[in-house]
Every structure is written in structure tokens, then in C-alpha cells.
Chains A and B, each alone.
Chain A
Amino acid sequence: MSDSEHLLEVNDLHVEFRLRDGIAKAINGVSFYLDERETLAILGESGSGKSVTAQAIMGILDSPPGFVTGGEVLFQGTDLEKLSPKARAKYRGPKLSMIFQDALSSLNPVFPVGWQIAEMFRVHQHMNRSDALAKAITLMEKVKIPAAKERVRAYPHQFSGGMRQRIMIAMAIALDPWLLIADEPTTALDVTVQAQIMDLLKELQEESGMGLILITHDLGVVASVADRIAVMYAGRIVESSDIRPLYANPLHPYTKGLLESVPRLDQKGQDLLAIGGLPPNLLAMPAGCPFNPRCRYAFDKCRAGEPPASEEIEPGRTAACYLAGRLEGAHA
């Protein structure tokens, strides 16, 4: 691996779903990169293509109907899209790993959790049953499950939501992956447990130096853990930025709307600000910028032709908007 290479580099990724009603273009030219020890947050509302991006990177898109129609996914310099399904499967587990939103449904209900963690070692490292189980207990301790030794034979439904997510994390980091994708890991959890899980992920990352992609729609979660942030809308990254400047000065109207819609304690009693309208139908995208029907800054150029391309506005910050960086001055 040469110095210039990123751990993961996604270039111009396109994904479409071929449905009976037509072709839904879920991802339209997404590009980003991630280095070791770095945390990238992918932010967006439901249906913006966050999870599909993650599944495309992992190579676990349901196909059909989902197809990767273009772009490359470079992992340590290897284009995963060019690998055979078999070769690609070898990356999942030891190199790339993923955790999901609902840890109860992500764990197999008919097997004890210890068995499921141990399976990782038995499949990938051909370890025998008792060694694998011992490793599973160590891992359960690592993700801070109390009384791991006793609980190793319990079933998923016997754990609370936070504990289940810890088990899922234990499975995901079992083989020391280089990259962990966390697809809304805390959405199903209450706020205190959310913080614990994020702390745990952060701690594990510091220990192993893995790259972390955090998919979320929660701006609060992002602020505390991410180094960089990519905001997705209708299958495009509309803004990507280091974490601090984004909160201070959003470049894209969508990001600005998102930040304004966060409930604030110092504005108690006032109406919440919301972005009007709905995300576009992927089967019938508006002409021009996909955000234009909901954008209060939109002008004629936004409503016709191709969507605006992503451009570097400041060092380390890109945005796909004609008005990027000039939002304050634009007529609202």
C-alpha cells in the first residue's frame, strides 16, 4: 500500500434498482474516501441512498433488483467491483465488516450469541469449537458485556437493545477488520445507550486503527464522533466537509435546512423549523438539482439541465450547489 492511497476510495459510484415500475437510480455518482483511524459520517434522510451505498461497498446488494452500474470501490488499492463474487466474499469479515440498525433482527434468533460470535472464528480461521467459544467470551468482555462467561449461552431475545448491539459489534470486529461500516447503529436505542455504543465504537477504533463509516440521520451522533461528514440527498453527496466548519457554515441549502431543523433547548416553545416537501421520487427525478423543489434559494438554473457538479469551495470542503458559500447573501 503506497502512501498516497486511501484505505477506501469510492469513485463515481452508480447503483440502480430495476423495478417493475421502472429504474430507480438510488446512487448517482457518489465519491468519497476514508483513511485508517478516520471516521466518516454519511448523513441523510430515509431513502437518500446511505444504506445502499454501504451495501454496495460491502457487495451485499440484493441483486436483482439492485445493480452497481458504474464506478469503482477501491479498498487498499484493489477495485472490489472487479473481483469475482467469491474473491469479494473473502473481504467480508476479515477486511470489511458491517453492523446494522436493529441488532435484534441482525442476530439469528435460534442460536446462542456465543455460538454466533464463535462462528466467525470457526468459519474464517478454522478454529475448533472450544477455542472459538473462548475467543467469543474474550470478545464479549471487550465490548463490555457484563458476566460474559455466563451469558455466552444466552439467546439474542434475552438481551436488551444495547447489549444486542454490543454483540453485533463483537461479531463485526471479531476478525479485526480494516473498515467497519455502522449502518445507523444507534437509531433503535435510547439516548443514554446511544452514547455508550458510540463511545464503545470510538474506543475500539482507537485500539485497532480501523476506518469507520458511520451512517446516520442524527446530527447529534455525528458531531461527537465523526472527523468528516458527507451529506447525501437523492443518491448524491451534496456536501462533504470536515466536521467543525460544516456546523458553523453549511455550504449547501439542504445541509443548512438540516441544521436549522435540529430542536434546540434555547429556543423552547417555538415551532420547529422543517424542510418543506418530500424527498424526490427516485423513479421520477426533477430536472436540474434534485433538491430544487424544496430549496428556498432555487432559481432558474437549478430547475433545468444536469444537477450541479460537486466543486471544492474551501480546502477540504466540497458542495454541489451553484450558490455554495454564498447562501447568506442570496435572496431567500
Chain B
Amino acid sequence: MTDLTDMNKESESQARIADAMTAPSLGIEEPQPTIPADALEDPAPQPVPDLQTVSEERSLMQDAWITMRSRPLFWISAALIFVFLLMAAFPQLFVFSGRTPDWSDLDKARMGPDSVAIFGYDLQGQDIYVRTIYGARASILVGVCTALGAAVIGVVLGTLGGFIGRFLDTLLSRTADVFFAIPLLLGGILIMYTFRTTAESPYFVVVFKVVMALSVLGWPNVYRLMRSSVMQVKPSEYVMAAKALGANPLRIIGSHIIPNAIAPVIVVSTIDLGSYIATEATLSYLGIGLQAPAISWGIAISDASAIGYVRNAPHMLLFPSLFLSLTVLAFIMMGEVVRDAMDPKLR
């Protein structure tokens, strides 16, 4: 009999979860309505066929997913990101004219769009459409790697600072403050100018340099968030319970602290990714990021924005800029959607 009452509470709470699809139950016990006697015979009536799967196994991530998939903004940004990722990985898929990015015909320099080169031709008579497609790789590579790099540095240091605290925390936090005070672009210019690249430097070395420069400047953002969120999770009862049941500090950090503290980092990293892509383009525009023969939207914009070209051949500027804006926008939109889904306080 004792079990039956509990089972009824279970089905009751399942139904409640199904009702409140959006928010995880906060453990506030609602008054249990009296259950008619015949309900005791069948403790788990399932009116909706897939209720079982929805209510049975929902983690924070799954919760976030359910919230996100109902938002058009999510699908728009996801589609854009997917296309750009595909473009970065397999640019050939998007080129139907058979031209390579190195193809050039000086006779056609600065000419407007025609039936083959739908975006027109640049200074060297190269196909802007092809160059723009191939340029995605640099932007995406720099953006994703920098976001990952900054996240790894920030999460590791933030966890150490927040969990161990005391002297280490002070040291790390003040160091982070120092880096935080340097504007991303200014710092990027300084670092890239100090460790200069030449046209001969291999592609990946140059990309790596830009990634390193931006990660070193970008981690304090992640660090601050991770530190505060670890400090919030650390005194929670499940950490105490894990300790009482014999978990060692490494396991407490690995399975209890980090998984519960990481959500804001995911949000901020996604939003920051967009700004890293923009910064890479700016550095390339200034001639100290990626350099020709590397193909990058920043370089293309830089080439196209010399005096005279903007008025005479605006297509040279328009298309790389459009792609750059779209990519940055896609990642920032995605970040916003993820934030809304993961942080119920903002809803």
C-alpha cells in the first residue's frame, strides 16, 4: 500500500512535468489532489503516446533543446551555421563553375557580375564568388579554434580559481583583470605586430598565431564566468553528499562541479565566437592577420576598400562583407538562443 501511494505521486509528478514543459521542477511540493480510487488500479495512464519518452529522460541539455527547437531564430542561425561550416570544410561543393580560387583573368579585373562569376571579379580578375566561398575556411577556423582555446583556458583556470580559492584565486583573478583591460582588437594588433607573419609563413602557422593571440586575449571573459559559477556550485549539497559518499576532489570537480557550472560558458563562447571572426577579419584587413596568398574575407575587404574601388566596383566590397556579417550574425543569434534556453532566469 505504501508503494502505491508513492507510485501515484510519481505519475502525478510526470503529468506535472509534461504540463510545465519549459522549466524543470524546482522541488516545490504542490498539494497533492485526491486521487480517485479507480486511478489506483492503473497508476500510469498515458494520454499522449510520446509522453513517456519526453518526461522520462530530460537533462538540462534536453530541456534546452526542447526550448530552442520551438524558436525560428534557432533554426535560421543553425541553418546559416551549418552552411558556413560546410563551406569551410568542403568549399568545392559550392563552386559550380569549376574555377579554383587561384584562377584569374586580368582582362576581367574589377568587372561586375556575369553569368559565370555571379559576384563579379576582383582586382586580379579572380572570381569573387569562388574567393568568398574559399574564404569561409579562415574565418570559421579562427572563430571556432579561438572560442575553444579561450574556453579551455578559461574553464581550467576558472575551475581552479573558484574551487581552490585563496591565493591562487587572487593571483588568477588579477591576471585575468590585466588581460581583460586590453581591448581585443588593440591587443590583437599588438601581438600580431610583434610576432609578424610574412607571405611565406605556412597557412596553418598564420592561423595558429591569430588563434593564439585572440585566445590569450579572450580567456578572461570565460574565466570570470566559470569562476563565479564554480563558486556558486561548490557549496551545494550534492557536492557535500558526493564528499560524504567518498568521491575524491578530482571526481567532484569532474562530475559535479564542471557539468553544473559550464552552461554560462557555452553561452558566452558562442556569442564571443562571432566577435573573434570579426576581429580576425579586422586584423587581416589591417594586413597583420592572415596575408595573401591566404584567402580570407578580411583580406578581400581590405583589397576592395581602397579609394576609388568602393565607388567604381562596390561588388568587390559587398560580397565578402555580406558573408562576414552573416557569419557573425549567425553565431551571435545562436548564442542568444542558447542563452535563453539555458538560463531560465532570463525567460
Q: Measuring CB to CB, which residues of chain A are less than 8 angstroms from any residue of chain B?
A: 58, 60, 62, 89-94, 97-100, 102, 104-112, 119-120, 123-124, 144, 146, 150-151, 153-155, 157-163, 168, 171-172, 174-175, 190, 192-193, 195-196, 199
Chain B positions 49-84 with a Cβ under 8 Å from a chain A Cβ: 55-60
Q: Which residue of A lies closest to B166 (CB)?
A: A64
A-B contacts besides A105-B236, A108-B238, A160-B29, 18 pairs, CB < 8 Å: A58-B243, A60-B243, A92-B243, A93-B245, A98-B244, A102-B27, A105-B238, A106-B238, A110-B259, A112-B57, A124-B246, A146-B6, A153-B57, A157-B17, A157-B25, A158-B56, A161-B29, A196-B2
The reply to whether A120 and B245 contact each other, CB–CB distance below 8 Å, is: yes
Nearest-Cβ distance from residue B41 to partner chain A, whole angstroms: 15
The reply to whether B25 and A158 contact each other, CB–CB distance below 8 Å, is: yes
Nearest-Cβ distance from residue B80 to partner chain A, whole angstroms: 29
Nearest-Cβ distance from residue B245 to partner chain A, whole angstroms: 5
Q: Is B242 an interface residue (CB 8 A)?
A: yes
The reply to whether A172 and B245 contact each other, CB–CB distance below 8 Å, is: yes
Q: Is B102 an interface residue (CB 8 A)?
A: no
Bound-state CA distance A175–B237 (Å) is 21
The reply to whether B10 and A92 contact each other, CB–CB distance below 8 Å, is: no
With A93-B246, A102-B237 known as contacts, the answer to whether A109 contacts B260 (CB < 8 A) is yes
Nearest-Cβ distance from residue A266 to partner chain B, whole angstroms: 28
Bound-state CA distance A60–B59 (Å) is 29
With A89-B248, A153-B56, A158-B14 known as contacts, the answer to whether A98 contacts B29 (CB < 8 A) is no
Q: CB < 8 Å: which of A92, A146, A159, A196 contacts B245?
A: A92
B interface, over-half SS: helix
Chain A residues closer than 8 Å to B241, beta-carbon distance: 98-100, 106-107, 168, 171
B39-54 CB contact bits vs A (8 Å, 1 = yes)?
0000100000000000
The reply to whether A155 and B29 contact each other, CB–CB distance below 8 Å, is: no
Chain A residues closer than 8 Å to B237, beta-carbon distance: 100, 102, 105-106
- Name 14 interchain pairs, CB-CB below 8 A, sorted by A: A60-B244, A89-B246, A97-B245, A102-B27, A108-B256, A146-B43, A151-B56, A158-B14, A158-B55, A158-B56, A161-B27, A161-B29, A168-B241, A190-B29
Nearest-Cβ distance from residue B323 to partner chain A, whole angstroms: 37
Q: Which residue of B lies closest to A97 (CB)?
A: B245
Q: Is B182 an interface residue (CB 8 A)?
A: no
Q: Is B153 an interface residue (CB 8 A)?
A: no
Q: CB < 8 Å: which of A102, A111, A174 contacts B259?
A: A111
The reply to whether B9 and A162 contact each other, CB–CB distance below 8 Å, is: yes
Q: Which residue of B lies closest to A108 (CB)?
A: B238
The reply to whether A157 and B24 contact each other, CB–CB distance below 8 Å, is: yes
Chain B positions 213-256 with a Cβ under 8 Å from a chain A Cβ: 235-238, 240-248, 251, 255-256
The reply to whether A155 and B58 contact each other, CB–CB distance below 8 Å, is: yes
Chain B residues closer than 8 Å to A154, beta-carbon distance: 56-57
With A93-B245, A105-B236, A107-B241 known as contacts, the answer to whether A146 contacts B55 (CB < 8 A) is no
The reply to whether B9 and A160 contact each other, CB–CB distance below 8 Å, is: yes
Nearest-Cβ distance from residue A267 to partner chain B, whole angstroms: 28
Chain A residues closer than 8 Å to B248, beta-carbon distance: 89
Nearest-Cβ distance from residue B258 to partner chain A, whole angstroms: 10
Q: Is B106 an interface residue (CB 8 A)?
A: no
Chain B residues closer than 8 Å to A158, beta-carbon distance: 13-14, 17, 25, 55-56, 58
Chain B residues closer than 8 Å to A92, beta-carbon distance: 243-246
Bound-state CA distance A150–B5 (Å) is 19
The reply to whether A160 and B6 contact each other, CB–CB distance below 8 Å, is: yes
Identify which of B27, B245, B246 gathers the most chain A CB atoms within 10 Å of its CB. B245
Chain B residues closer than 8 Å to A155, beta-carbon distance: 24, 57-59
With A60-B244, A92-B246 known as contacts, the answer to whether A119 contacts B255 (CB < 8 A) is yes
Chain B residues closer than 8 Å to A110, beta-carbon distance: 59-60, 259-260
With A111-B259, A146-B10, A199-B2 known as contacts, the answer to whether A104 contacts B17 (CB < 8 A) is no
With A108-B259, A154-B57, A162-B6 known as contacts, the answer to whether A98 contacts B27 (CB < 8 A) is no
Q: Is B114 an interface residue (CB 8 A)?
A: no
Q: Is B3 an interface residue (CB 8 A)?
A: yes
With A92-B244, A107-B241 known as contacts, the answer to whether A157 contacts B2 (CB < 8 A) is no
Chain B residues closer than 8 Å to A105, beta-carbon distance: 27, 236-238
B251-283 CB contact bits vs A (8 Å, 1 = yes)?
100011001100000000000000000000000
Chain A residues closer than 8 Å to B56, beta-carbon distance: 150-151, 153-154, 158
Nearest-Cβ distance from residue B267 to partner chain A, whole angstroms: 16
Q: Is B7 an interface residue (CB 8 A)?
A: yes
Q: Which residue of A lies closest to B14 (CB)?
A: A158
Nearest-Cβ distance from residue B5 to partner chain A, whole angstroms: 7
